[in-house]
Amino acid sequence: MNTQARHSSDIECASDGTLLRDPRRPEPKYSLPKAFHHFRELLKDKEDTAHVFRIFEALPSKTFMPRVRALTLSEQGEQLRAEEPYLPPILDNHEALRRLPKGTVAQAYCDFMETEGLSAAGLVAEAEKLGNPKYGDLVEWFGFRQRDTHDLMHVLTGYGRDGLGEQCVLLFTHGQSPSHGHLLIGYAGAVQIKKTVKSNAPVFKACRQAHKTGVACPSLVGMSIRELLAMDLDEARAKFNIPDPHWYKECHRIWRSEGIDPYDLLAPRRAPEAVAA
């Protein structure tokens, strides 16, 4: 008897029997107060990624399961699971990525991660501190893929890891995968920047551009990440409708002209080795 046959007919599975959603998985509960609590804690230390995960847990998206189903039960999803079952080993193999030509997404990704002292495994470790159980279902595969492509989004969009850059990447992500968590961190973070930093920098224009870019860009979660890494960065940006982040750069220019460090807007950054630990 194969795996799929052991499950009742009303439970959706992939062709190999992997459950779409394990019935043991608890139903997510929407809690705006809980999300705001973790947002306030995140403002104290923007490198404490655990609060980001908790915010998303507290603000589940109604469109999440339809998106999971559409990809994972499709032919493209089946192929991606076979070829890219888990992204961190691919993304952290810088030796292999560095063999790809100069100017590729892979080279820019390695530069970014090495400069910032980051790794895909490090992000996994932060998520696992939450102690959430694993179910091995398609929801888990999709969720891991969303998590593990976050830093690739920084590279493709050109947004840095400063306070505004993180808000912009999350709003870009909302354009691709709508959730109130992205909106909360993105726009509430922008409000906090405007409130804290007295400046004429066009923060909200930068955020709106990021959001629109995310809507116009095809879903990165549904792409072959190996193929994406091998693409020329400029060609990838043109193909996926990712423009130069003009308003974000303008914010940085104005802040620096005013003697403001764009990387110290909401909270000081940790040393790279602390982030990667």
For the chain, what is the mean pLDDT? 89
* 120: in domain: yes
Q: Which residues contact 182 (CB under 8 A, 6 or more apart)?
A: 170, 171, 173, 174
25-39 in b/e form (b: 16+ CB < 10 A) is eeeeeeeeeebeebb
* 248: in domain: yes
In this structure, which amino acid lies at residue 82?
A
- Does residue 9 carry a pLDDT above 70? no
Angle at 118 between CA 245 and CA 54, to 5 degrees: 80
Please report how many Cα atoms fall inside a 13 Å half-sphere around the Cα of residue 5, on the Cβ side. 2
Contact assessment for residue 161 and residue 154, using Cβ atoms and an 8 Å cutoff = yes
- Does residue 268 carry a pLDDT above 70? no
* 21: in domain: no
Interatomic CA distance for residues 98 and 133, integer angstroms: 35
> pLDDT tens digit string along 54-108?
888 888 888 999 999 999 999 999 999 999 999 999 999 999 999 999 999 999 9
Q: Which two tokens stand for residue 159?
A: 């947004």
Q: Which two tokens stand for residue 74?
A: 């499709």
Angle at 262 between CA 45 and CA 188, to 5 degrees: 55
* 16: in domain: no
Ramachandran angles phi, psi of 177, nearest 5°: -135, 80
* 212: in domain: yes
> pLDDT tens digit string along 106-151?
999 999 999 999 999 999 998 898 888 999 999 999 999 999 999 9
| pLDDT band per the 50, 70, 90 thresholds, residue 267 | very low
| pLDDT band per the 50, 70, 90 thresholds, residue 185 | confident
* 40: in domain: yes
**DSSP state for residue 101 in the 8-state scheme:** P
Which residue reads 């969720």 in tokens?
143
Ramachandran angles phi, psi of 109, nearest 5°: -65, -45
Q: Which residues pair with 19 in a beta bridge?
A: 13
Which residue reads 């947004």 in tokens?
159
**DSSP state for residue 223 in the 8-state scheme:** S
Across 218-240, average pLDDT: 97
* 201: in domain: yes
Number of domains making up the chain: 1
- Does residue 47 carry a pLDDT above 80? no
Q: Residue 89 belongs to what domain range?
A: 28-276
Output the pTM of the full model.
Answer: 0.85
* 20: in domain: no
